[in-house]
Amino acid sequence: MKIRNRIIGMLLICAMVLGNYSTILAQSDLGDVEAQYFSFSEKDIYESLQKCDNASLSSDGFSKADIQILRTKTYNDLLLERAKLPRETLQKYGHTDSEINQLKQFASSNVLSATSDSLARAAIACSGSLSKVSASSTSIKVKYSWSWNARPVFLGTDTVGMRWQAVRSDGTIISASATSKSAFVNYYSIDTGNLYTTSSFTPTSKTDFDAIYLEFNMQKSVGYWAKSGNMTATITKDGSSPLYLVKVAAVYGHSILNSKASISYSAGGYSISISPSSREESSGYSNITVYANGTVITN
C-alpha cells in the first residue's frame, strides 16, 4: 500500500516544536549556511503503517507479531506507557517540563484530547536539515543533519541516504563522485540524559546511483540511544568540465518494530526515497541545488 501525500501534521510539528530549533541548529551545528529543514514524528510513521493491509506489511518485512501490535496498539497506547514513567526518567529521555506535565495528565486520565494528540506528535519528533558547507567549480560540500527531541519508542536500525546530480553550464549532466564522506552519531545515556559518546562512520557508496547511505543502530548498547548525527559528503567533478551546479537530495528512514527502513533509488535523475513506500510521508526528505558560486536554492 503506497501512501504518497505528506501529512499536514508534520507542518504543524515544525511550527509548534521546532520554530526555534532551526535557528539553534544553523548556529551550533551547521555554521553560516543555507539549508532546507525537515521535521517528522514517530507517531506519523507508526500510524501510516497502520493504514497498510496485512499483505503489504508482510511483504515489507513485518512479522506476524509485529502486525498484531500494529493492529491492536495505537501509538497513544505506547505513549501512555511512556507517560507512566517517573518524571526524572522522562527528563533524561529529553522531554520538556511542559511535555512531561501533559504526559502526566494523560497518564492520570488515560484520555488524550485533540489538543494533546497534537502534542503527542510533537513529543517524539525528528528534525534537521540538508545544507551547503562550501562550493566551487571543482567540488561542493553538503551536510545532512538530524536530531530527535526525545528518545523514540522504537530503537532499531535507522538509515540515512544522500544522492546527487552534477550539471555543467550548458545543462549537460556530468559525472561527479563523493571524494570525501563521513558521518557521526551522538549517543546519549538514559541514566544521565547527557552525551555518552560520539561514534564516527564511513558511509557506503552506491556508485551506480551517485549516492551514499549509512545504517546505524539507534541503541548502541542497553542504556544508550542515538539522539543526533550528521552525514557529510564532498562531491567532486570527475572530468575536466567545471561544475555549474549540483542537485542534492537526502532522506531519513526510521525503523518501526522489527522491519528496517531502507533507501530506494530510481533510474535517472537524483531521486531518493524510503522503502517500503508506506514510510515516504515521514521520511525527512530534503533537496537543494548548490551552485558553484555558492548560491543555494531550496527546492
pLDDT in tens, 165-204: 999 999 999 999 999 999 999 999 999 999 999 999 999 9
Tell me whether residue 16 is in a domain.
yes
DSSP string, 96-138: -HHHHHHHHHHHHH----HHHHHHHHHHSEEEEEEEEEEE-SS
- What the block records as the C-alpha cell of 76 is 497513544
The pLDDT tens digits for 233-269 are 999 999 999 999 999 999 999 999 988 888 888 877 7
Structural domain of 293: 8-69+123-298
Of 67 and 76, more confident: 67
The pLDDT tens digits for 265-274 are 887 778 888 7
Q: What's the Cα-to-Cα distance from 283 to each of 87, 128, 194, 255, rounded to whole Å?
A: 30, 11, 27, 11
- What the block records as the C-alpha cell of 260 is 528496517
Tell me whether residue 77 is in a domain.
no
Tell me whether residue 97 is in a domain.
no
Q: How far is CA 256 from the centre of its chain?
A: 13
Residue 6: what pLDDT? 32
Q: In angstroms, rounded to a whole number, what is the distance separating the alpha carbons of residues 161 and 273?
A: 8
Residue 2: what pLDDT? 34
38 DSSP β-pair partners: 128
Residue 292: what pLDDT? 97
Please report where in the chains the cell 506489511 appears, as a residue. 57
Q: What's the Cα-to-Cα distance from 176 to each of 16, 145, 275, rounded to whole Å?
A: 39, 22, 25
- What lies within 8 Å, CB to CB, of 71 at 6+ separation is 50
Instruction: Put residue 170 in one of left, alpha, beta given phi > 0 → left and psi -120 to 50 → alpha.
Output: alpha
Mean predicted confidence (pLDDT) in 68-88: 93
Q: In angstroms, rounded to a whole number, what is the distance separating the alpha carbons of residues 237 and 78?
A: 48
- Does the pLDDT at position 147 exceed 90? yes
Tell me whether residue 40 is in a domain.
yes
Band (108; pLDDT cuts 50, 70, 90): confident
Determine if the pTM surpasses 0.95: no
Tell me whether residue 153 is in a domain.
yes
Whether the CB-CB separation of 38 and 129 falls below 8 Å is answered with yes
Whether the CB-CB separation of 125 and 41 falls below 8 Å is answered with yes
Tell me whether residue 211 is in a domain.
yes
Number of domains in the chain: 1
Q: In angstroms, rounded to a whole number, what is the distance separating the alpha carbons of residues 201 and 178?
A: 15
Percent over 70 (pLDDT), the chain: 84
Among the listed residues 74, 75, 70, the one whose alpha carbon sits nearest the alpha carbon of residue 42: 75
| Amino acid at the residue 181 | K
231 DSSP β-pair partners: 144, 183
Of 59 and 91, more confident: 91
- What the block records as the C-alpha cell of 154 is 522504537
Band (120; pLDDT cuts 50, 70, 90): confident
The neighbour count for residue 180, using CB atoms within 10 Å, is: 12
Tell me whether residue 165 is in a domain.
yes
Band (109; pLDDT cuts 50, 70, 90): confident
* Mean of the per-residue pLDDT values of the chain: 84
Mean predicted confidence (pLDDT) in 99-122: 78
Residue 73: what pLDDT? 94
- Does the pLDDT at position 26 exceed 80? no
- What the block records as the C-alpha cell of 133 is 558547507
Tell me whether residue 88 is in a domain.
no
